[in-house]
Chains A and B, each alone.
Chain A
């Protein structure tokens, strides 16, 4: 097995182990987070991770329709992951694809352990995720954004959920694969964790890795998740600190003016 290599058309690493976009193997793509971006939603978040751009909106807890889906003892969490037709190189058909349906389920299951669903029996919490631009790792970015949107909606959570993928490119373990690296690499390992207790809520693998490589990749992904968690925390707090700052500035003005 050691000598086995998938044919790779593109060289993903240079002599200094730097990737095509200049990143080191254990480096995340630049991440930009925003919360409360949509006025009509109860909670919302936006994430830019490299070239991936994703919007997440949360509605609820609200009445559940159709009624027969209601659970008598807890709320129903429904995530819907959709990609815009213009989000990928070749136009994506606007019809819901098999992949979107599957990712919706996977994301729901990655978020559900963090939500206190028992607080809202019979109700529904809806999460809508729109991929505006896709460049690999969208399921992980979606989970990161959706968990921020849930927190922004004021839904009680046990913890935030942070997610990032690790993988194997040109025979080396790397963090946060881009679309090109994903398609030309040997393996992709998306991981979502609840950082407080380090519980894993999503673990998938695509491709082939040895046992040792898997452990190395998993640990690298968890390290990446923790970095993302810090950013999530910061942005949630920042929203309200900004308002505080504006308010005190206003008060100063009034004092000086009056």
Chain B
């Protein structure tokens, strides 16, 4: 049982992290009795689990994630949705309304058309098929107006902060409405363009400096400048 790193040290792929009875978490892999990192990121041990929080990476859908997507195609009985991931999502009317729809009597475009932006939850995904989306919960559905900001999906946890500390601070300080998609898309809508611009600037700074300390204070400073 040996750990070969200091907490929150930057590691590169293939670096030996631990030996013995540890468990490999995100961003790591096990070979024999040893755990190695598989990405560039910050390493930390949580109990017996060793994990590396990656700096970069694509969004891989996870059941239960709230994502922001764009409708790219309307088919007979479903929508194709781009969720900023290697895997395009599908959405069926059943998972929006409490009923089936007859494509002969109703046009799906009445509800969502190509180009529409929506907040949805990932209902099912097993990597062999396209992820399925649902909007059957409060707060999900079509988005109107506002700005969309794309950031690295790996920086989303930092943007939210511990128990939402960062995002709540930004909301409070600017009075903007913000919806965060786990897939790295953020929707911002405020009373004035200046407010929205301040939020976007703050998000960009968080994306760049996610791995540094004292970030919340610097972001607050930036918003008030």
A residues contacting B by CB (< 8 A) are 42-43, 60-63, 72, 114, 116, 119-124, 151-160, 194-196, 232-233, 236-237, 240-241, 243-244, 247-248, 250-251, 254, 258
Which residue of chain A has the shortest Cβ distance to B88 in the bound complex? A63
B29 in contact with A116 (CB, 8 Å): yes
CB pair B57 A154 closer than 8 Å? yes
Complex Cα distance A121/B12, Å? 24
Question: What are the residues of chain A within 8 A of B127 when measuring CB–CB?
Answer: 121
B214 within 8 Å of A (CB atoms): yes
Please name the residue on chain B nearest to A157 by beta carbon: B13
- What's the A-B contact tally at a CB cutoff of 8 Å? 104
Which chain A positions have C-beta within 8 A of B40? 151-152, 154, 236-237, 240
* A240 & B86 in contact (Cβ 8 Å cutoff): no
Is B56 part of the contact surface with A, judged by Cβ < 8 Å? Answer: yes
B208 at the interface (CB under 8 A from A): yes
B36-75, CB under 8 A of A: which get 1 and which 0?
A: 1011100000000000001111101000000000000000
Asked if residues B14 and A160 are in contact (CB atoms below 8 Å), the reply is yes
Name the A residues within 8 Å of B58 (CB-CB).
42, 60-62, 120, 154
Can you list 18 A-B pairs, Cβ within 8 angstroms, ordered by A? A61-B58, A62-B58, A63-B86, A121-B127, A121-B128, A124-B86, A154-B55, A154-B154, A155-B57, A156-B27, A156-B38, A158-B36, A236-B40, A237-B10, A240-B40, A240-B55, A247-B215, A247-B218
Most buried by A among B54, B208, B214: B214
Residue of A at shortest CB range from B129?
A122
Contact B10 A160 (CB under 8 A): no
Q: How many chain B residues touch the partner (CB < 8 A)? A: 33
C-alpha gap A196/B154 in the complex (Å): 26
B residues whose Cβ falls under 8 Å from a Cβ of A: 10, 12-14, 16, 27, 29, 36, 38-40, 54-58, 60, 86-88, 127-128, 154, 208-209, 211-215, 217-218, 221
Chain A residues within an 8 Å CB radius of B128: 72, 121
The listed residue with most B CB atoms (<10 A of its CB), out of A121, A232, A240, A241, is A240
Given A157-B39, A243-B208: A42 in contact with B56 (beta carbons within 8 A):
yes
Residue of B nearest to A124 (CB): B86
Interface of A is mostly: mixed
Compute how far the CA of A124 lies from the CA of B87 in the bound complex, rounded to whole angstroms.
Answer: 11
Closest B residue, CB atoms, query A121: B127
> Which of the listed residues B14, B56, B127, B213 has the most CB atoms from chain A within 10 Å of its own CB?
B14
Which 10 A-B residue pairings sit nearest by Cβ, starting from the closest? Answer: A154-B57, A154-B56, A159-B14, A157-B13, A156-B38, A247-B212, A123-B86, A61-B86, A196-B14, A247-B209
Q: A154-B56, A156-B39, A196-B36 are in contact. Are A244 and B212 (CB under 8 A)?
A: yes
Do residues A158 and B14 form an inter-chain contact, with CB atoms below 8 A?
A: yes
Across-interface contacts of B36 in A (CB, < 8 A):
158, 196
Partner of A160, one of B12, B57, B87, B214: B12
Contacts of B213 in A (CB 8 A): 248
A232 to B86, CA, bound (A): 28
Chain B residue nearest to A195 in the complex (CB):
B14
Contact B12 A236 (CB under 8 A): yes
> CB within 8 A of B214: which of A114, A120, A195, A251?
A251
